[in-house]
């Protein structure tokens, strides 16, 4: 089993509900168990247009290889109605594989760790919430000007 981290985001439809449903779907993947999930966060689009995003990060314990997990994530995006009419288009669901154990790779299909992980508050803040040992304080400082807000727990 390998510890993997997945970033979730959505900014079309009921984005908060879509992200929460996707968190549940991640725990249903074969040979995979959901270990932790961050709070939901609202963030302005970075390098994209459209409404604000709802974001989260999930920790998984998985026996899926990196490419198998990536393909499973893409299938979940399709399940949520994800369309890709142009780069950085608004989306019903975006799932990014951030890390898969200690795997380092760079291919046309997959780069691990995720190449923009350190540049995005909407990834670093929720990742820091569930795995603070993985997020360097300098990375958080570098993205401090990016608008992001932790949402109240809907169960509270």
Question: Which residues does the annotation mark as catalytic?
Answer: 82, 91, 94, 96
Specify burial of residue 18 (Cβ count, 10 A radius: 0-12, 13-18, 19+): buried
DSSP state of 10: E
Strand 41-43 versus strand 53-62 pairing type: antiparallel
Rg of the chain over Cα atoms, rounded to whole angstroms, equals 14
Provide the b/e sequence for 111-138 (b: ≥16 CB within 10 Å): ebbbeebbebbbbbbbbbbbbeebbeee
């Amino acid at each position: 089993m390998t510890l993997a981290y997945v970033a979730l985001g959505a900014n079309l439809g009921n984005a908060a509900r879509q992200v929460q449903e996707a968190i549940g779907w991640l725990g249903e993947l074969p040979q995979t168990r959901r270990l932790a999930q961050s709070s939901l966060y609202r963030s302005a689009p970075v390098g994209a247009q459209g409404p604000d995003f709802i974001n989260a990060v999930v920790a998984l314990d998985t026996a899926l290889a990196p490419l198998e997990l990536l393909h499973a994530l893409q299938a979940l995006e399709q399940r949520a109605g994800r369309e890709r009419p142009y780069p950085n288009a608004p989306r019903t669901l975006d799932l990014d594989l951030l890390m898969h154990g200690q795997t380092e790779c760079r291919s046309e299909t997959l780069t691990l760790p995720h190449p923009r992980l350190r540049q995005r508050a909407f990834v670093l803040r929720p990742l820091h919430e569930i795995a603070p040992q993985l997020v360097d304080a300098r990375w958080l400082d570098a993205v401090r000007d990016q608008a992001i807000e932790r949402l109240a727990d809907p169960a509270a």
